[in-house]
Amino acid sequence: MIKVVFGHSDDTVTNISVTGHAGFGRHGTDIVCAAVSASVLMTANAISSLELDDTVQLDLKEGVFKLKVQKANRITQGLLKTLVDAITQMQQTYPKHITIRKED
């Protein structure tokens, strides 16, 4: 199961943690894991491409994505809220394979 934690304060995303594997299919054919991984990697790559690396602290390795906002700004928040929306929609479609917890 993929476990996702979204931290927020008011309308600002403060941290995101994504860990685990979906278990939807065999390794290499798991579409749920692939979708979540692609969304996470696209967000991390966009932050880097837009030279916003100093706005977040990022830990990215096999089966683990942890991001903590260091300096909130409109662009970083837009990217993170898009990631939250994407994973939330995936969780609604695959509730047995993704759990989401929101923290204040």
Please list, in sequence order, all residues whose beta carbon lies within 8 angstroms of the beta carbon of residue 100, skipping any fewer than 6 positions away: 4, 5, 6, 87, 88, 91
pLDDT digit string (tens) for 20-34?
A: 999 999 988 999 999
Q: In this structure, are residues 32 and 40 in contact, taking their beta carbons and an 8 Å threshold? A: no
State the pLDDT at residue 27: 86
State the pLDDT at residue 75: 96
State the pLDDT at residue 63: 84
What are the chain's domains? 2-95 (3.30.70.1490)
Q: Tokens standing for 19?
A: 């860990």
Prediction pTM value: 0.92
State the pLDDT at residue 28: 87
